[in-house]
């Protein structure tokens, strides 16, 4: 995912890269990573914007089944040889002696951020029965699985209070 700085001019150009899934150090990757990016130079800045597409293989937090998630993420990043770039969190500093820009670390970071903190195969996933472990998306079980509804607590309390008041 390297682009020679000499290939980036003030006129926008497009580049395509394919990153092998086993070369990015992200175990969740289930497909190669396809990057389509435009680049141009503006003064001290090299501006990139594009999309990264791939697929992740995750495991559902509720039912523990594996599932895949398609990734189609837009990105914008600026590499700058401006000395002030070191202090600017929106810019990635570049040495004026660098003859190429490697987008791989940035693409890797972008992909890591797409991995959801809460992984669900579906928002409606019913999960596993806490008693027998049956996957409730596929089967039902006969376990008594009373869901504790806190709204009844208030009513119970009220009932108790009324009973006490009558005594
Ligand atoms: Zn699930
Ligand atoms: Zn059960």
Per-residue pLDDT of the chain (167 residues), as tens digits, is 999 999 999 999 999 999 999 999 999 999 999 999 999 999 999 999 999 999 999 999 999 999 999 999 999 999 999 887 777 778 899 988 989 999 999 999 999 999 999 999 999 999 999 999 999 999 999 997 555 555 666 666 666 666 666 55
Distance 20 CA to ligand 2 centre (A): 42
Phi then psi for 88, rounded to 5 degrees?
Answer: -95, 115
**Cα angle 31, 106, 70; round to 5:** 30
Tell me which residues have their CB within 5 A of the ion that is ligand 1: 60, 62-63, 121, 125
Closest of 4, 13, 1, 21 to residue 100, by C-alpha: 4
Distance 88 CA to ligand 1 centre (A): 41
Distance 132 CA to ligand 2 centre (A): 4
Distance CA 70, CA 56 (A): 6
pTM: 0.77
């Amino acid at each position: 995912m390297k682009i020679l700085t000499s290939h980036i001019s003030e006129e926008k150009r497009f580049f395509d890269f394919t990153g092998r899934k086993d070369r990015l150090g992200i175990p969740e990757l289930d497909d190669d990573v396809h990057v389509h990016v435009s680049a141009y130079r503006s003064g001290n800045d090299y501006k990139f914007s594009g999309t990264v597409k791939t697929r992740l293989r995750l495991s559902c937090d509720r039912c523990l089944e594996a599932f895949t998630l398609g990734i189609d993420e837009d990105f914008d990043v600026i590499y700058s040889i401006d000395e002030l770039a070191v202090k600017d969190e929106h810019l990635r500093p570049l040495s004026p002696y660098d003859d190429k820009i490697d987008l791989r670390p940035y693409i890797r970071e972008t992909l890591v951020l797409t991995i959801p903190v809460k992984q669900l195969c579906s928002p409606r996933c019913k999960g596993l029965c806490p008693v027998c472990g049956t996957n409730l998306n596929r089967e039902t079980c006969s376990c008594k699985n009373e869901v504790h509804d806190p709204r009844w607590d208030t009513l119970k309390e009220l009932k108790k209070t009324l009973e006490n008041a009558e005594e």
